[in-house]
Amino acid sequence: MSAAEAMEVDDNETKDSPPLKRQRGPAENDGKGILDLPEEILFKIFRQLGITELHGNVALVCKKLLAVSRSPSVIKTAELEVTDSKDLQFAKGVLELHVNIVNLKIRLKMIGQKGHPLFENLRNLRCLKSFEVNTCNRPFGFPAPTLMGGLISLNSLQVIDLYDYMSHMPWTAGQLEPLFENNKQLKTIRLSKVTGDVITLILSAMASTLEDLAVLDYTKTPPDWSLLSQCSKLTSLNMSYSLDFWTAMSKMTTLKLLNVRFWCVMPNFLPAPKSDLLSLELSPVHVNADNTFFLNCWSLWPNVRTVKTIDSKMSCPVL
């Protein structure tokens, strides 16, 4: 068959064949796009974005997305950094709009000695479960009553992390008691500077729910460490060393992670905790020791996976 005949056959087949239809995409078939998605789906999509992207980009697209971005429920987790007045206004707007935030982390720069105005907006967060705040200007900070004024009205907190919030004065039992009274389900409490009475209050008020406790420093009256035995769910403990503390802690059976600061004795000189420890951190270790120190740790707690110390003279053996 010649080339001319082949071309003629192809022309005839084309004439007899039905016309090809252009493939349509889903949006062309049903006339729907992202703006037609249910609000719950839009919430799930936009929760993958940061607050800045949500309010700085998505909200500018159209009126519907602007309304979605301002919904009280669109944001569940928020991280805010406040270093100047512009950041402050943005952060206050976020806390006023998104009253259903569940997890909130705030990083602050010191603005005056009378307290931070952002704390007043914490009263709006009716669903807040986890709250963390730290200050950029350590060891300075804001007066503790200003922060407590915003937190006292909350009743859904499970995690409160003020470990890097460096206040001028230590937290007192009188300041924290209303917070614990209103939030009976607290599981994690991390504080930077407290009186001994505060630790006693925590161990007694949160005995049935407390799982993670960390206190950087405590002053004045020593805590009643015997209350540790009542904390049946406590698995993580970060505390400064004292003989009374270690004696009480050695009777616990639930601990998995133990961090002891100002450690000053070898672990085989004291009774070991009866719990199945998985992680141990001692800092600093004020002893001249070699790998025997770590071997003693493993003899006391055979299931420990991590042992850390802060001492240049010591090194962890490879087992």
3-state secondary structure of 161: strand
Per-residue tens of pLDDT for the chain, all 319 residues = 554 554 454 555 555 555 544 455 554 545 567 778 888 888 888 888 878 888 888 888 888 888 888 888 888 898 988 888 888 888 888 898 888 899 999 888 755 555 567 888 888 888 999 999 887 655 444 555 667 777 888 889 999 998 877 666 677 888 888 888 889 899 999 988 788 888 999 999 999 999 999 987 777 678 898 898 889 899 999 888 777 887 887 778 888 888 887 666 555 555 666 667 888 887 765 554 556 666 667 777 778 777 776 654 444 443 3
Put the strands of the sheet holding 257-261 in their side by side order.
Answer: 77-82, 103-108, 130-135, 159-162, 188-191, 212-215, 236-240, 257-261, 279-283, 306-309
Give the chain's radius of gyration (CA, Å).
30
pLDDT at position 162: 85
Quote the longest CA-to-CA distance of the chain.
108
Are the C-beta atoms of 157 and 128 separated by less than 8 Å? Answer: yes
Instruction: Give kind and range of the element (H or E) at residue 10.
Output: helix 3-16
Residue carrying the six token digits 């009643």: 224
Distance CA 109, CA 141 (A): 9
Please give the structure tokens belonging to residue 29.
């078939």
Under 8 Å CB-to-CB from 237, ≥6 apart: which residues? 213, 214, 249, 255, 257, 258, 259
Residue with tokens 């600061």: 261
| Residue 134, strand partner residues | 107
Give the pair of three-digit tokens for residue 269.
């000189």
pLDDT of residue 315: 45
Q: What is the pLDDT of residue 298?
A: 72
Question: pTM score, two decimals?
Answer: 0.76
Alpha-carbon gap, residue 212 to 147, rounded angstroms: 21
pLDDT at 292: 65
